[in-house]
Amino acid sequence: MRFFNLFKYDVKNGFRINLLHLLVIVFLVLAYCFDFYIRKKHAYMFDPVIPSGTWIDYLFYILAGIKEYIPSDTESFLFPVKWMLLHLFILYSTLHYPYRDLSALGLNMLMRTKGRLAWWSSKTLWNICYVLAIYAVIFLTILTFCFIMQEPISFEITPMFVNDLLDAQSPFDTFSIDLVVYIVFIPVMMSIAFNLLQMTIVLFIKPLYSFGMLAIMLLSSAYIVTPYLPGNYAMPIRSIDVVEQGLSFNGAVIAWSILTVGSFILGCIYFRRFDILHDDFN
């Protein structure tokens, strides 16, 4: 009952405080959708028929990230604008609520219930639910866009877009359902892991510093291709289903499990002796 009351409180207040962020996500995704739609028209303007983009094509375009960047005289500099902006905005959306709750009504509830494990578990579950809500908004916004623009609502990836518009330099002519599964699930899972890691780091340093650490990790992942930088897994364009010697679905699940479980356990242990009456929270 203690956990249920805390979680009910978090869902009500956490979503109310961050409701505007969900609206921003709608406009951000719409901007990305229009960008893909216009780029598609320009790329194939001299073709007899401009190919349609499916729902999964639009989602892939938004979540793809960038191919491995190798500096050269012939290669222009790459920066994952869409990918970075989306993930950083999601991180910022969940950054302040758990922290501020310790200096507001949440502190009174914590003192009254004396359930630190329940409080941390509730904040963790709220964080997960909020990230899932953001991705639900992303999926539904793309769905609405495709419906209005009369684009096919399907899970079929259009192979020509992968190299022509995403510049993936993929050696494959077709893409299996495995890539669709990766696109739909892994970015969501890794985003959850990033947000839980950020929430745990906030116990040790100030929120903006924690946000900065995650931003550096994401930026490093964009230019250093290694399974030890988890941001790589959040880029479907680097999966083994797109490029040879890419990152696997199983590897992404392992990285997600380590980050998620590790963040939760470390947060539980540290929060049990955390000074909630510290001046920084009052």
Its domain, for residue 212, covers 2-67+77-273
Q: How confident is the model at residue 280 (pLDDT cuts 50, 70, 90)?
A: low
Averaged pLDDT, 272-280: 61
Cα separation, 178 vs 160, in Å, equals 18
Cα separation, 94 vs 265, in Å, equals 19
Max mean pLDDT range (68-82, 109-123, 228-242): 228-242
Q: How confident is the model at residue 281 (pLDDT cuts 50, 70, 90)?
A: very low
Q: How many domains does the chain have?
A: 1
Whether the predicted pLDDT of 282 surpasses 50 = no
Q: Is residue 278 part of a domain?
A: no
Mean pLDDT of the chain: 89
Q: Is residue 281 part of a domain?
A: no
Cβ atoms 201, 213 nearer than 8 A: yes
> For residue 256, what are the CA distances in angstroms to 38, 47, 176, 190, 229?
35, 42, 23, 6, 12
Q: Is residue 280 part of a domain?
A: no
> For residue 70, what are the CA distances in angstroms to 66, 230, 243, 270?
11, 19, 15, 41
> Does the predicted model carry a pTM greater than 0.85?
yes
Averaged pLDDT, 135-151: 97
Q: Is residue 43 part of a domain?
A: yes
Choose among 192, 167, 166: nearest CA to 258.
192
Averaged pLDDT, 108-131: 79
Cα separation, 78 vs 278, in Å, equals 44
Averaged pLDDT, 179-189: 97
